[in-house]
Amino acid sequence: MAELALRGGAPVRPQGYPAWPVHDERDVEAVAEVVRSGHWGGFPEPGPLAAEFAGRFAAYQGSRHGVVMVNGTVTMEVALKALVIGWGDEVIVPALTFAATPYAAMAAGALPVFCDVLPDTLTIDPDQVEAAVTSRTRAIMPVHLGHQMADMDRLTEIARRHGLALVEDCAHAHGQRWRDRGAGSFGAFGSFSHQSTKLLTAGEGGSLITNDEGLARRAHSLIDCGRAKDPEEKEFTFGANYRLGELHAALLLCALERLPGQQAQRAEAGRHFEQLAGQVPGIRLLPPDPRITRWSFYRYIVLIDPEAFAGAGNRRVCQALEAEGVGAWEGYEPMSRYDLFQPALSRLPVAVEHATRLDPARMSFPVAEDAGLRRTVYLDENVFRAGRRGVEDAVEALAKVQRHADELVEAGT
Ligand SMILES: Cc1ncc(COP(=O)(O)O)c(C=O)c1O
């Protein structure tokens, strides 16, 4: 008889994990109040609740200004445009991320230049960043992936030495701190997503944070159809409507109240997980960089050794974990595999030089490819919001899938 739930066995955690997003009557009332007020939209920009949230969230991350908008992709596009980065410019991004990061560079008109990631953190490799800098490079966009942060010591130093802007993709890093400095506050801009699965969500939404008042003003203009934001300077930008509505802002204000408690809970459960999961054969942990001084993670990434799972890869292991009742996802494909970045497949209207630079034959990222295609298992955030027992069940599910790995293979796919 089969043991794995995938093949009809009893699941380790039939009751599953707490739902996300967390909400209660406070959220209902906050939204109802906006409905009653009749002030639903984001115009005039920013709406009062959008402004309140943007200010509070920026302060929480340790930045002076916040600008809230429709999602965490246009945030990065707006950041680059605010920095006047566009045609002919190059922007360095990691090869292991969501497509939104390089897409944003392209949407601004710039060329994304990919770098491989470090094997111990899966974040951009600073040595490769250094090697990728050319006379056209204008910005570095590191991504704080899963439960890690990119090496902000090295990256700030490289950016300073080459005169490059830093735009941090913090879609996974609400609340994280590096040497007591908030994620997103190291360079010109920090970009956050408030999409459904993220740690601070209203279903959709995005935030930019910055310490530079002029850049904040330009970002406000860019998301508000280019309207001038300083009556003195009359600066008008090439903008569009990326404003966030007040219903979303009301939800974000409620979510921000809960974030610190949820984050402390996940960090404590994460440490318990690390004590136990390291003993599971075939599982490699990537301990958080010790320079992370407030740990707040989106998903916890472990690496599997396919040899120890009867040759099964991360996708199959995630299916088995899901069947056991533990939310798991195999994560991002390396960017070298994305159709979007292969001109012949995506039919991008790119210039010849762009097409040459994006030639898939020239894109080789051994660490990102090995991790993303075979090894990464991203455990859902809710595994770390269900007490010690929640974590113990997830570890047992990992161990069980490994013990009965032969069933993964027999079950096919
Ligand atoms: C690393 C990363 N960057 C950017 C984004 C884009 O955010 P959004 O979905 O809000 O556009 C996401 C999430 O979806 C992400 O995971």
Do 104 and 174 share a structural domain?
yes
Do 287 and 146 share a structural domain?
no
Looking at 255, 277, 299, which one is the last position of a domain?
255
Average confidence (pLDDT) over 127-135: 95
Question: pLDDT tens across 330-340, in order?
Answer: 999 999 888 77
Mutation test residue for ligand 1: of 148, 195, 301, 335, the one with most atoms within 8 Å of CB: 195
| Ligand 1 within 6 A of CB of 77 | no
Looking at 227, 255, 283, which one is the last position of a domain?
255
Do 263 and 243 share a structural domain?
no
Q: Is residue 246 part of a domain?
A: yes
According to the model, what pLDDT value does residue 68 have? 98
Do 162 and 303 share a structural domain?
no
Q: Is residue 160 part of a domain?
A: yes
Question: pLDDT tens across 238-281, in order?
Answer: 899 999 999 999 999 999 999 999 999 999 999 999 999 999 99
| Ligand 1 within 6 A of CB of 100 | yes
Q: What percent of the chain has pLDDT over 70?
A: 94
Question: pLDDT tens across 348-396, in order?
Answer: 665 555 666 666 666 889 999 999 999 999 999 999 999 999 999 999 9
Q: Which atom of ligand 1 is nearest to the CA of 97?
A: 1
Q: Is residue 130 part of a domain?
A: yes
Q: Contact at 8 Å (CB) between 87 and 110? A: yes
pTM of the predicted model as reported, rounded to 2 decimal places: 0.96
> Token match 């992370």: residue?
292
d(CA 334, CA 26): 40
Do 226 and 82 share a structural domain?
yes
Across the chain, mean pLDDT equals 94
The residue range of the domain holding 136 is: 25-255
Q: How many domains does the chain have?
A: 2
Contacts of 304 (CB under 8 A, 6+ apart): 282, 283, 284, 313, 314, 317, 374, 375, 377
Looking at 236, 255, 274, which one is the last position of a domain?
255
Is residue 21 reached through a cis peptide bond, with omega within 30 degrees of 0 on the bond before it?
yes
Helices within 202-330 (DSSP H only): 213-222, 246-277, 314-323
Do 310 and 280 share a structural domain?
yes
According to the model, what pLDDT value does residue 340 have? 75
Beta-bridge partners for 92? 113, 140
Mutation test residue for ligand 1: of 75, 98, 329, 333, the one with most atoms within 8 Å of CB: 98
According to the model, what pLDDT value does residue 412 have? 46
d(CA 219, CA 221): 5
d(CA 3, CA 132): 49
**How far apart are the CA of 320 and the centre of ligand 1, in A?**
26
Do 355 and 231 share a structural domain?
no
Q: Which atom of ligand 1 is nearest to the CA of 298?
A: 16
Residue 336 sits in a domain whose CATH number is 3.90.1150.10
Question: pLDDT tens across 95-116, in order?
Answer: 999 999 999 998 998 989 999 9
Q: Contact at 8 Å (CB) between 402 and 283? A: yes
According to the model, what pLDDT value does residue 413 have? 47
* Strand 206-210 with 189-193, pairing: antiparallel
Question: pLDDT tens across 56-105, in order?
Answer: 999 999 999 999 999 999 999 999 999 999 988 999 999 999 999 999 99
According to the model, what pLDDT value does residue 105 have? 94
Do 266 and 152 share a structural domain?
no
Q: Is residue 9 part of a domain?
A: no
According to the model, what pLDDT value does residue 336 have? 85
pLDDT greater than 50 at residue 411:
no
Number of H helices, E strands in the chain: 14, 14
> Token match 């066995």: residue?
9
Candidate from 101-105, 206-210, 316-320 with smallest mean pLDDT: 101-105
Closest CA to 101 of 196, 231, 192, 211: 192
| Ligand 1 within 6 A of CB of 206 | yes
Q: Contact at 8 Å (CB) between 120 and 285? A: no
CA distances from 388 to 118, 268, 313, 325, 395 (A): 30, 9, 28, 16, 11
Do 373 and 246 share a structural domain?
no
pLDDT greater than 70 at residue 320:
yes
Q: Contact at 8 Å (CB) between 143 and 192? A: no
Q: Is residue 18 part of a domain?
A: no
> Token match 């045609």: residue?
87
According to the model, what pLDDT value does residue 364 have? 87
Do 264 and 235 share a structural domain?
no
Greater pLDDT, 340 or 302: 302
Half-sphere exposure of 265 (CA within 13 A, CB side): 16
Do 374 and 307 share a structural domain?
yes
Ligand 1, atom 10, lies closest to the CA of: 72
Q: Is residue 13 part of a domain?
A: no
What would the DSSP string read from start to end of 378-406? EE-GGGGGSHHHHHHHHHHHHHHHHHTHH
Do 237 and 324 share a structural domain?
no
Residue 207 sits in a domain whose CATH number is 3.40.640.10
